[in-house]
Structure 1
């Protein structure tokens, strides 16, 4: 999986540079985010603007990070396409994740 990182203040912005996050690559996302949190990062913005398709496996790649940071940091998801946002809405995970249209909007919070 192709991920890139950049810093904006206290946030680490992680861009997922893949068109799909599914059963073929979610374990890499899960382990990469786990490693980043283990290194002490507590405020993450995950940019999913290049992801055109995500299934339940993709969500499974994100959930452990939410549990790891519960009460000790933030994970913001940004740039979700309509199809990916629909998955989060239908699964009610939009109540667990803070979702913003852009990195700039997430940084305002």
Structure 2
């Protein structure tokens, strides 16, 4: 799974470089997220702006990534494409995650 991690003083932004988080990619996603979040800031933002499809396995993998980070750390989401945002709305996961519209705004705040 292609994940790019950028560390800032108080935030880590992890960008998913693939178009799909589905059953075929879910285990690779969880493993890559575990490695990417093993150390670093307590606030992690998952940039999903390149992801155009998430199925139930992918959704479960994102939830699992949040849970494996533990209660003291926070996983937010950003840059959801319309189809991915719809999955989060339909499953009411927007009440579980803080979802930011614009990853560029977060990047500018992290460097500012």
**Residue in 2 that maps onto 1:4:** 4
Aligned counterparts of 2:41 and 2:50: Cα–Cα separation in 1 = 23
Question: Is residue 22 of structure 2 the alignment partner of residue 22 of structure 1?
Answer: yes
Stretches of structure 2 that go unaligned for 5 or more consecutive residues are none
Q: What do you get for the CA RMSD once the two structures are aligned?
A: 1.9
Instruction: Compute the displacement of 1:70 (Å).
Output: 4.8
Give the conservation status (yes or no) of the 8 Å contact 2:43–2:74.
yes
Query: Which is further off, 69-78 or 24-33?
Result: 69-78
Number of residues paired by the alignment?
108
Q: What secondary structure is seen at the aligned counterpart in 2 of 1:32?
A: helix
| Larger CA deviation: 66-75 vs 16-25 | 66-75
Does structure 2 conserve the Cα–Cα contact (< 8 Å) formed by 1:13 and 1:44? yes
**Aligned counterpart, 1:102:** 102
Is the contact made by 1:76 and 1:106 (CA closer than 8 Å) also made in structure 2? no
1:55 counterpart residue number:
55
What's the TM-score, normalizing by structure 2? 0.84
Which moves more between the two structures, 7-16 or 33-42?
Answer: 33-42
Separation in structure 2 between the aligned mates of residue 28 and residue 41 of structure 1, nearest angstrom: 22
Secondary structure at 1:38's aligned position in 2? coil
Unpaired segments of 5 or more residues in structure 1?
none
